[in-house]
């Protein structure tokens, strides 16, 4: 089992809404193939908004076993009269906007005891990212400024992109490599 959320596939209400699953009084389906935690899933999604209780059904196979998960959709009415939906997590029963697939189980983030990659970084690595990240951003900004079609000015005014690049370069001027060598060579830090 993976220890990171980044390695696990997820499905969100935003993805389903943008693909037309939540249109009123319709039954919509699609088939997706994805990899989560080095496991291949063939997922069939069926969404029904025709009933009084809207429903989302996942059909998938995990390690040769066919699974079917019914997920209740919780309607969220907005002030313009439209309807959006939240998932009701099949494991915790709480409302959520994103469901994860981990070891054949479909559930919300609260069900799994997983971490994000940034949560396990040591303080030394975080400090290095902070200090060297500024230098990296400045190099990217210099490359962008020197690119072929980069516009510095438009209508006599500096462009927002140019201002952003100059700001990144100016921030990096205060950081020297000699100050950051202590992070590279000092093992106690």
**Considering the domain boundaries, does residue 113 fall inside one?**
no
Are residues 84 and 140 both part of a single domain? no
pTM: 0.64
Domain count, the chain: 2
Mean pLDDT check: name the lowest of 20-29, 114-123, 174-183: 174-183
Whether the Cβ atoms of residue 63 and residue 104 lie closer than 8 Å to each other: yes
Q: Are residues 96 and 142 in the same domain?
A: no
Contact 45, 27 (CB under 8 A): no
pLDDT above 70 covers what percent of the chain?
A: 89
Q: What is the pLDDT of residue 181?
A: 58
- Residue 32 in domain: yes
Residues 99, 135 within the same domain: no
* Judgement on whether residues 18 and 83 belong to the same structural domain of the protein: yes
Structural tokens at position 17 = 């809404």
Assess whether pLDDT exceeds 80 at residue 12: yes
Distance CA 42, CA 20 (A): 20
Give the phi and the psi of residue 31 in degrees, each rounded to 5: -120, 130
Phi, psi of 85 (to 5 degrees): -130, 150
The predicted structure's pLDDT at residue 28 = 82
Q: Which domain holds residue 138?
A: 121-185
> Is the Cβ–Cβ distance between 51 and 25 less than 8 Å?
no
User: Is residue 153 in some structural domain?
Assistant: yes
**Of 14-23, 29-38, 70-79, the least confident:** 29-38
Q: Based on the fold, state whether residues 49 and 74 are members of the same structural domain.
A: yes
- Using the predicted structure, report yes or no on whether residue 35 has a pLDDT greater than 80: no
- Looking at 85, 107, 129, which one is the last position of a domain? 107
């Amino acid at each position: 089992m993976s220890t990171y959320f980044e390695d696990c596939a997820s499905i969100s209400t935003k993805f389903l809404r943008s693909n037309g699953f939540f249109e009123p009084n319709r039954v919509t389906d699609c088939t997706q193939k994805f990899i989560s935690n080095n496991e291949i899933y063939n997922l069939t999604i069926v969404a029904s908004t025709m009933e009084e209780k809207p429903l989302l059904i996942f059909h998938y196979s995990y390690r040769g076993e066919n699974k079917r998960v019914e997920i209740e959709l919780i309607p969220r009415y907005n002030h313009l009269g439209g309807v959006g939906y939240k998932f009701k997590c099949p494991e915790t029963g709480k409302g959520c906007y994103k469901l994860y697939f981990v070891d054949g189980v479909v559930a919300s983030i609260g069900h799994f005891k997983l971490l994000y990659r940034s949560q396990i970084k040591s303080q030394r690595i975080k400090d290095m990212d902070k200090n060297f990240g500024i230098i990296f951003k400045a190099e990217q900004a210099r490359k962008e400024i020197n690119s072929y079609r980069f516009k510095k000015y438009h209508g006599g005014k500096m462009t927002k992109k140019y201002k952003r690049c100059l700001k990144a370069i100016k921030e990096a001027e205060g950081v020297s490599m000699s100050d950051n060598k202590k992070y590279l060579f000092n093992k106690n830090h």
